[in-house]
Amino acid sequence: MSIQIYNTLTRKKEPFIPMEEGKVKMYVCGPTVYNYIHIGNARPVIVFDTVRRYLEYRGFDVNYVSNFTDIDDKIIRTANELGEEVGELTDRFINAYFEDVGALGCAKADAHPRVTEHIGDIIAFIQVLIEKGFAYEAQGDVYYRTRKFDGYGKLSHQSIDELKVGARIEESEIKENSLDFALWKSAKEGEISWESPWGHGRPGWHIECSVMAREHLGDTIDIHAGGQDLTFPHHENEIAQSEAMTGKQFARFWMHNGYINIDNEKMSKSLGNFVLVNDIRKQIDPRVLRFFILSVHYRHPVNFAQELVESAANGLDRIQTAYTNLKHRLKSSTELGDQQDIWKNKVDEAVRLFEVAMDDDFNTANGIAAIFELVKVANLYQLEKNTQTEVLNSFISAFEHLMEVLGLPFADEDLLDDEIEALIEERLTARRERNFGRSDEIRDLLKDKGIILEDTAQGTRWKRG
């Protein structure tokens, strides 16, 4: 069974078969860098990083490209307000972006193109669109002639006429049609700008992605992804531009993730409920944030609330504990045994469940359920009097692989300080002597240092709380 992906273009799940066997070309719309990203911005980064990881797990070679919009109105306005150069501002927030999403376990893309590095390509692209009659210059701006492109609306499943009726945009004197959108915007006095055949100006928002996707991945890409709200007009416009340019299909699969709400309300400036990743990751373990986001199917909305994140933290902890306990048990395991196949089959079954879930349009909620199945079986196995190294290792390996796909690798255990180790030893002695006063004192002392002790039949183990 191949991987099934829900394609916004067809509104159906379709078997995913890349153009070139074993290779996937993937483009994800990145942020406009004029501020720290909020958790809503982080969702697609996490979700599609996970998609990429799973495709790689499945043996695909993924060429993953995600852009930075480093020139636009909001950037210019913010730079003016802060009295900062545009380039300084965008560099600053691009660095912050990498720190934020890196903390969330997102790997870097194979390429992170910036608009300002592609101005020449953009101008050339626009020129061709003009030559082909898909664009026109008007008073130093260049607009896309939406009426000219037959497929306009095929992604958002709207006809041009319906779009016009609902359009809240004001009729423009200089545009032929209110749905026409800017490919090139003439610069205002003193504004950062680039030389072009139409005078000084800068690119419009939609053209960038068409150009950068093509420069880095070619005329047709396998997967184009982004937030749901980009479906219209951004992605619709990208299709219009790219397909007018090449005459070929632009993207074969379009994936869109749902929103994040805050306490059941949409994040908005007026409500003042923006949650910046840069702030929240200092309060909440970023691994918990990622786990929380992946616990819901990517196309469904996620409600971000304190208690929900806490419950996710407890769940992640259960997985972590099972894994850590397996590692500890390794120290008291044996080489021989007779039931290894039974247990190893259970491990394989959990891994299979995980794959079935992920094959089905990256159903991470079910994938996580499969991991909990593994937790259950692992915990039961550890109730056995004798555990075998080989079986323990197959559990450990399954945990590591699956969590790696989710971008939640287990942290390496820190070594204990000699002092702490000595305290654990002293406590053991105290317990043997039934000096529970001293024993509990030591346990509390270590607890203050963030070390939690657990006594088992195989001895005392510890973890960082």
Q: Which residues are annotated as a binding site for ATP?
A: 269
Using the minimum distance from each CB to RNA, give the nearer residue, 198 or 292. Answer: 292
Does the protein bind RNA through residue 288 (CB under 7 A)?
no
Binding to RNA, residues 114-143 (CB under 7 A): none
Give the burial class of 235: count Cβ atoms within 10 A of its Cβ; 0-12 exposed, 13-18 middle, 19 or more buried: buried
* 229 is a site residue for RNA (CB under 7 A): yes
113 sits near RNA (criterion: CB under 7 A): no
453 counts as binding RNA under rule CB under 7 A: yes
Q: Which of 26, 29, 106, 221 binds RNA (CB under 7 A)?
A: 29
Q: Which is nearer to RNA, 187 or 428 (CB)?
A: 428
> Considering the complex, what minimum distance in angstroms separates the CB of residue 66 from RNA?
11
Q: Which of 18, 201, 227, 407 binds RNA (CB under 7 A)?
A: 227
Is 295 a binding residue for RNA by CB under 7 A? The answer is yes
Q: Which of 243, 439, 446, 451 binds RNA (CB under 7 A)?
A: 439
Least separation in angstroms between CB 446 and RNA: 11
**Residues between 32 and 61 with contacts to RNA, criterion CB under 7 A:** 32, 40-41, 43-44
Name which of 12, 13, 16 is nearest 3 in CA terms.
16
Is residue 346 at the binding interface for RNA, with CB under 7 A as the rule? Answer: no
Of 98 and 436, which CB lies nearer to RNA in the complex structure?
436
Listed in sequence order, the residues at least 6 apart from 159 whose beta carbon sits closer than 8 Å to its beta carbon are 153
145-204 residues in contact with RNA (CB under 7 A) are 156-159, 162-163, 165-169, 179, 181
Q: What is the dihedral sign for C-alpha 228, 229, 231, 234?
A: negative
Residue 16 interacting with RNA (CB under 7 A): no
- 452 lines the binding site for RNA (CB under 7 A): yes
**Smallest separation (angstroms) from RNA to the CB of 273:** 10
Out of 138, 330, 365, 416, the only residue in the binding site for RNA (CB under 7 A) is 365
205 binds RNA (CB under 7 A): yes
User: Which residue number, 122 or 375, has a Cβ lying nearer to RNA?
Assistant: 375
Structure tokens at 357: 């879930």
Residue 329 sits in the site that holds RNA (CB under 7 A):
no
Residue 462 found at the interface with RNA (CB under 7 A): no
Buried b / exposed e along 258-281 (16+ C-beta atoms within 10 A): bebbbeeeebeeeeeeebbbbebb
Residue 94 in the binding site for RNA (CB under 7 A): no
Instruction: Between 345 and 456, name the residue whose CB sits nearer to RNA.
Output: 456
Residues 6+ apart with CB under 8 A from 215: 113, 118, 121
Within positions 385 to 424, which residues make up the interface with RNA, using CB under 7 A? none
* Residue closer to RNA (CB basis): 372 or 410: 372
Tokens of 222: 């396998």
96 binds RNA (CB under 7 A): no
Residue 99 CB, shortest distance to RNA, in Å, is 17
- One residue of 17, 19, 23, 74 binding RNA per CB under 7 A: 74
Question: Whose Cβ is closer to RNA: residue 60's or residue 292's?
Answer: 292
* Nearest to RNA of 336, 383 (CB atom): 383
**Which residues between 239 and 268 bind RNA (CB under 7 A)?**
257-260, 266-267
Please identify, using beta-carbon distances, which residue of 17 and 452 lies nearer to RNA: 452
Token pair 């255990």: residue: 413
The annotated binding site for Zn(2+) is made up of 29, 209, 234, 238
**Interaction pattern, residues 296-315, with RNA; x per rule: CB under 7 A:** xx--xxxx---xx-xxx-xx
